[in-house]
Structure 1
Amino acid sequence: MEELLELKQLLLGGNIQSALLLVEEMTEMSKDDKLNKIFSFSVILLVHLIKQHAEKRSTKSWDTTIRNVVRQIKRSNKRRKASGNYLSSAELLETLADAYKSALDAAALEAFEGQYDAEKLGSMVDRTAIIDQAMSLILGNVE
């Protein structure tokens, strides 16, 4: 909100150059917020996929969470006014790869009632297959 008030003052004062710089800064802040949301939702998605792969089972709760976070990733990635997405497919894949370690740490607390550490749990699953599945879900039509 402070930024909007500052922008208004800059425009009213005729300081267009500073106003444009502030608009750029606000745009970056907005994009960073979107990217952080996508990363957080990616961790949740990967946690549940890791648990499914490790335990070779699923639950209605896990399935519902997976569907919901995929929707949230798609929603967060979609540009509202301008068409397209904030992240390309390659950037989404990079985000999932970055989120994997955090997801593995969290999944280790939940899978098999927490009896395995992240390293052991990681050796029980195929990282590439899980990330590929996550990408497929994100790029597919999940309703």
Structure 2
Amino acid sequence: MEELLELKTLLTQGNISSALVLVEEMTEMSKDDKLNRIYSYGIILLLHLIKQQAEKRTTRSWELSIRNAVRQINRTNKRRKANGYYLTNLELKETLEDAYESALDGASLEAFEGRYSPEELAQMIDFDRLITDALDLVTKELK
């Protein structure tokens, strides 16, 4: 909100060049917020996929969390007015790969009642398949 008031002041003063710089900063802040939200939902998605893969089972609760995370990733990634996406499939894959360690930490507390460390749990899953499955879920929703 503070930035909008500053933008209004700059425009009323006729300081267009400073206003444009501020608009660019605000655009970057907005995109960063969206990327952080996609990353956070990626953690949730991966956490439940890790538990499914490691425990070789699923629950309705996990399925619901997966569906909700996929929906939120796609909702956040969609450019409503420009009719496109903030992240390409390659960038989504990189974001999911970045989210993996955090998801693994969380999953190690939940899977098998917390009996395994993140490193031990990582030995039970196929990382490449995990990322592929997550990306398939997200991109399937885009079609």
TM tier, shorter chain?
Answer: over 0.9
RMSD, aligned α-carbons: 0.8
Q: Does 1:46 align with 2:46?
A: yes
Q: Deviations over 1:59-118 (max 9, x none)?
A: 000001100110000000001111100001110000000000110011000000000000
Counterparts of 2:21 and 2:141 in 1: how far apart (Å)?
38
Taking structure 1 as the reference length, what is the TM-score of the superposition? 0.98
1:116 aligns with 2:123: no
**CA offsets per residue over residues 113-132 of structure 1, 9 Å max, x none?**
00000000000000110110
Amino acid in the other structure paired with 1:30: S
- TM-score normalised by the chain length of structure 2: 0.98
Residue matched to 1:77: 77
**Counterparts of residues 31-110 of structure 1 (less than 5 Å):** 31-110=31-110
Match of 2:25 in 1: 25
- Ranges in structure 1 where 5+ consecutive residues have no aligned partner: none
Residue of structure 1 in register with 2:136 after alignment: 136
Divergent runs of 4+, >6 A: none
For residue 81 of structure 2, what is the amino acid of its counterpart? Answer: K
Structure 2, unaligned runs of 5 or more: none
SS at match of 2:83: coil
Distance 1:47 1:68 in 2: 13
Question: One-letter code of the match for 1:29?
Answer: M
* Equivalent pairs, count: 142
Identity %: 65
